Structure 1
Amino acid sequence: MSAGDGALAEGEAWLFPGQGAQYVGMGRELLARWPRARELLERAEALSGLPLRQLCMRGPAEQLRRPEVLEPALVALSLAHADRLYALRGPPRYVAGYSAGEVVALCRAGVLTEENTLRVAVLRGRILQRAADSLTGRMVSIAGLPLSVLETLVADNGPPEALALAGLNAPDHGTVSGRPEFVRAVEARVHALGAQVSEVEVSGPWHSPLVAHLGREVLDVLDSFCFLPPRLPLYSSVTGTLEEDPRRLRVLLAGQVAQQVRWQPLAAELLRRARTLLEVGPGHFLSGIVRRAAGTSHPREIRAVERPGGSLWPRSVLHG
Structure 2
Amino acid sequence: MKVAFIYPGQGAQYAGMGKEIYQKYQEAREIFERADEALGFSISELCFEGPEEELMKTENTQPAILTVSVALTKVLQKRGIKAEVTAGLSLGEYSSLVLAEALDFEDAVRLVKNRGKYMQEVVPQGVGTMAAILGLENEVVEEICRTVSQVGIVEPANYNCPGQLVISGEVKAVEKAVELAKEKGAKRAVVLAVSAPFHCSMLKKAGELLERDLEKIEIKDLKIPVVSNVTADYASKDQVKDLLIKQVSHPVLWEQSVKRMIEDGVDTFVEIGPGKTLTGFVKKIDKTKNAYNFEDEESLLKTLSALGV
Q: 2:210 aligns with which of 209, 218, 223?
A: 218
SS of 1:85's equivalent in the other structure is: helix
- Over 3 Å counting, the alpha-carbon distance change for 1:134 and 1:196 in structure 2 is closer
The answer to whether the aligner puts 1:227 opposite 2:215 as a matched pair is: no
The answer to whether the aligner puts 1:314 opposite 2:301 as a matched pair is: yes
Counterparts of 1:284 and 1:78, CA distance in 2: 12
Counterparts of 2:219 and 2:76, CA distance in 1: 24
- Over 3 Å counting, the alpha-carbon distance change for 1:46 and 1:134 in structure 2 is farther
Residues 144-203 of structure 1 deviation map (CA, whole Å, 9 limit, x = unaligned): 211111112222223496211101122211111112222222223334424124555542
Q: Percent identity?
A: 27
Counterparts of 1:55 and 1:287, CA distance in 2: 25
Letter in 1 for 2:273: G
The answer to whether the aligner puts 1:258 opposite 2:249 as a matched pair is: yes
The answer to whether the aligner puts 1:87 opposite 2:74 as a matched pair is: no
Residues 232-263 of structure 1 deviation map (CA, whole Å, 9 limit, x = unaligned): 1111011001122x221111111211011111
- Over 3 Å counting, the alpha-carbon distance change for 1:198 and 1:73 in structure 2 is farther
The answer to whether the aligner puts 1:190 opposite 2:181 as a matched pair is: yes
Q: 1:304 aligns with which of 273, 282, 293?
A: 293
Letter in 2 for 1:305: F
TM-score by length of 1: 0.85
Contact 1:37 1:76 survives alignment (8 Å):
no
Bigger CA drift: 10-19 or 118-127? 118-127
**1:7-156 superposed matches below 5 A:** 10-131=1-122, 136-156=127-147
Contact 1:161 1:210 survives alignment (8 Å):
no
In the other structure, the counterpart of 2:197 is 205
In the other structure, the counterpart of 2:307 is none
- Over 3 Å counting, the alpha-carbon distance change for 1:30 and 1:168 in structure 2 is same
TM-score by length of 2: 0.88
In the other structure, the counterpart of 1:6 is none
Structure 1: gaps spanning 5 or more residues: 1-9
- 1:266 Cα offset (Å): 1.0
Contact 2:137 2:162 survives alignment (8 Å):
yes
User: Considering only aligned residues, what root-mean-square deviation do their CA atoms show, in Å?
Assistant: 2.4
- Over 3 Å counting, the alpha-carbon distance change for 1:216 and 1:45 in structure 2 is same
SS of 2:172's equivalent in the other structure is: helix
Letter in 1 for 2:170: R
The answer to whether the aligner puts 1:268 opposite 2:255 as a matched pair is: no
Counterparts of 1:206 and 1:37, CA distance in 2: 30
Contact 2:125 2:196 survives alignment (8 Å):
no
Bigger CA drift: 178-187 or 220-229? 178-187
- Over 3 Å counting, the alpha-carbon distance change for 1:12 and 1:184 in structure 2 is same
Letter in 1 for 2:274: P
Counterparts of 1:268 and 1:304, CA distance in 2: 18
In the other structure, the counterpart of 1:166 is 157
Residues 264-319 of structure 1 deviation map (CA, whole Å, 9 limit, x = unaligned): 21111212321211111111111111111114xx2x21112127xx8532357xxx
- Over 3 Å counting, the alpha-carbon distance change for 1:202 and 1:32 in structure 2 is farther
SS of 1:110's equivalent in the other structure is: coil
Counterparts of 1:211 and 1:181, CA distance in 2: 17
- 1:132 Cα offset (Å): 5.5
Contact 2:181 2:189 survives alignment (8 Å):
yes
Counterparts of 1:30 and 1:132, CA distance in 2: 36
- 1:135 Cα offset (Å): 6.4
Structure 2: gaps spanning 5 or more residues: 305-309
User: RCO greater where, 1 or 2, for CA within 8 Å and sep 6 or more?
Assistant: 1
Counterparts of 2:92 and 2:181, CA distance in 1: 28
Counterparts of 1:204 and 1:37, CA distance in 2: 31
Contact 1:65 1:202 survives alignment (8 Å):
no
Residues 104-140 of structure 1 deviation map (CA, whole Å, 9 limit, x = unaligned): 1111112112222222223323323433656632222
Contact 2:145 2:177 survives alignment (8 Å):
yes
In the other structure, the counterpart of 1:286 is 278
- Over 3 Å counting, the alpha-carbon distance change for 1:160 and 1:34 in structure 2 is farther
Bigger CA drift: 175-184 or 34-43? 34-43
Counterparts of 1:203 and 1:20, CA distance in 2: 11
- 1:70 Cα offset (Å): 0.8
